[in-house]
Amino acid sequence: MSCRIIRIAHVSDAQAIQAIYAPLVEHSAISFELEPPSVAEMARRIETTIQTYPYFVAQQDGQVIGYAYAGQYKAREAYKWSVEVSVYVAAQARRSGVGRALYQELLAKLKQQGFHAAYAGIALPNERSVGLHESLGFVHLGIFPEVGFKHGKWHDLGYWRIALADATPPAPIIAFAAY
């Protein structure tokens, strides 16, 4: 029987995370990056992210099979209670509940931290990602048509939102590093 756990990502997970992400960058429009980031770049991203935002991995039988994280929505100060979220799952673990489990952990932690809303951008078409987000309570906001050019064609980007906390005025955000 295999054991699956969700835990905080560590810089040492960078190679496994890069291995999940690189094929998506190279062979799909799921990510709008054109070249896969290096392992060193992934390590830098993890280290930078976890100072303020949560970053989780799913691990099964000692192997990282997925990851999810939040990040800054936009740089202006009034946006600081909003975050952008992403989840990626290894090919062999897709459609097994890993993405849902990662997002449930991520969204719960974002609520604890005091964030107001999370936004997810989904390159379209992507019925599975749309289905996952909507099943978790994300609401479709709209589409930016032909916003990214990759693999020789234009791609639309849809945005979804989920409410997290409803404090007015909002309390200061608790940095993830404080946990």
Say what the pLDDT of residue 2 is. Answer: 62
- pTM exceeding the 0.85 threshold for the entire prediction: yes
Q: What is the pLDDT of residues 77-114, one digit of tens each?
A: 999 999 999 999 999 989 889 999 999 999 999 999 99
Residues in Cβ contact with 28 at an 8 Å cutoff, skipping those fewer than 6 apart: 123
Residue type (1 letter), 150: K
Tokens of 95: 């459609």
Under a CB-based contact definition with an 8 Å cutoff, are residues 172 and 144 in contact?
Answer: no
The CATH fold of domain 4-178: Aminopeptidase (3.40.630)
Q: Could you give the C-alpha distances from 73 to 9, 48, 76, 77, 125, in angstroms and in order?
A: 20, 15, 9, 10, 22
Q: What is the pLDDT of residues 6-57, one digit of tens each?
A: 999 999 999 999 999 999 999 999 999 999 999 999 999 999 999 999 999 9
